[in-house]
Amino acid sequence: MLRLYSAATLPDAHLLRQLLAHAGIEAHVFNENAQSGMGEIPFTHAWPEVWIERAADMVRAREIVGSFEHPVAVGADVFCAACRERNPGNFELCWNCGAPL
């Protein structure tokens, strides 16, 4: 397994893991409970980390991280292709069914 990303928050780590999963990339979040140790360990060691299973997925995974870190500007509402639910323009996944927008 290879470390791909250190997230500032646990929700960010899980959102990125879900984006990777939608792209067919197996990923895991580590350090989910390490923030309780901050003060005794350096804070950067307590950040949640996203790791991928296969080195062959690294290039594609980094592209997903790039789009995650630099989202497009918020636009008009978007309709999900899978369930036709309305989503705000800045959503990357449908709030109703979880499909990528």
* Residues sharing a CB contact under 8 Å with residue 26, sequence separation 6 or more, in sequence order: 20, 52, 53, 54, 57
Would you write out the chain's pLDDT as a tens digit for each of its 101 residues?
A: 999 999 988 999 999 999 999 999 999 999 887 665 556 666 667 789 999 999 999 999 999 999 999 876 677 899 999 999 999 988 889 999 999 98
CATH: 1.20.140, 1.10.3470, 3.30.300, 3.30.70. Which one for 2-70? 3.30.70
C-alpha 21/C-alpha 61 separation (Å) is: 10
Radius of gyration of the chain (CA): 15
Could you give the dihedral angle defined by the CA atoms of residues 36, 66, 86 and 73, in that order, rounded to the nearest 10 degrees? 110
C-alpha 28/C-alpha 43 separation (Å) is: 20
Domain with CATH 3.30.70 in the chain: 2-70
